[in-house]
Amino acid sequence: MTVPDPEDLTARARIRDAAMRHIGEHGFERATIRGIAESAGVSLGLVRHHFGSKQGLREACDQHLMKIIRRLHEEAEHAAPGAPGLNPIAAMGPYQGYMARALTEGWAGPLFDEMVRIGERWLAEDDEKRPDPPATDPKTRSTLIAAMALSVGVLSRHVERGMEIDLTTPEGQEKLMLAILDVYSRPLLTPEMAAAARAALRKP
């Protein structure tokens, strides 16, 4: 088997990252191989050499995002809560535009499913320790959590306006993480209020 040229590997990553920026800005249908090549500073032929087609390039971008999501999951599993440097918002920051396009244009199924799978495992493990059984299964809850988490990227301009801060800055990322921690650690409903609401939903 031929060993890949290190320069080719570097060029491949540069093209992939340029494609993610270009598709994030223009959308997949309007993005062009030529525009991506110009953005990456390489020839059109080199893009086709590495990826074959625009579809192949998009699949490589999706695979790269999948690797990032899995790496963040592995780091979170082995890190203490609030560990320095463990900031998924910052890690996904450069890819938010691409992610938003993938979600709104409808090709993010594998990425979404991966996030659901990871969350489902965490919730299932946590359910075993809970004294009160949840009203819904782990996959259902994980699906909703994934949708809410990903919506921050899709609605980033509105979130930034509401929070009055640029989420791409360290200050913005810290404020967002603190707000997320507050939301998850301080329930809006007491157990009694939640029980009453569930009872009302079950009434004919």
- Residue pLDDT, tens place only, 67-85: 888 887 777 766 555 555 5
Q: What is the pLDDT of residue 6?
A: 52
> What's the rounded mean pLDDT across residues 5-28?
84
Q: CA–CA distance from 87 to each of 30, 45, 72, 130, 174 (Å)?
A: 32, 37, 9, 27, 9
Per the structure block, which two tokens stand in for 73? Answer: 């999951």
Q: What is the pLDDT of residue 1?
A: 43
Q: What is the pLDDT of residue 140?
A: 97
Rounded Cα distance, 133 and 110, in Å: 29
Rounded Cα distance, 40 and 47, in Å: 9
> What's the rounded mean pLDDT across residues 12-26?
93
Residue 86 binned pLDDT confidence (cut-offs 50, 70, 90) = low
> What's the rounded mean pLDDT across residues 165-178?
88
Q: What is the pLDDT of residue 87?
A: 59
Q: What is the pLDDT of residue 5?
A: 46
> What's the rounded mean pLDDT across residues 158-179?
90
Quick: pLDDT tens for 46-57.
Answer: 999 999 999 999
> What's the rounded mean pLDDT across residues 166-179?
88
Percent of the chain having pLDDT more than 70?
88
Apex 68 CA angle, 64 and 74, nearest 5: 140
Rounded Cα distance, 22 and 37, in Å: 10
Q: What is the pLDDT of residue 157?
A: 87
pTM score of the predicted model: 0.75
For all residues of the chain together, what is the average pLDDT?
86
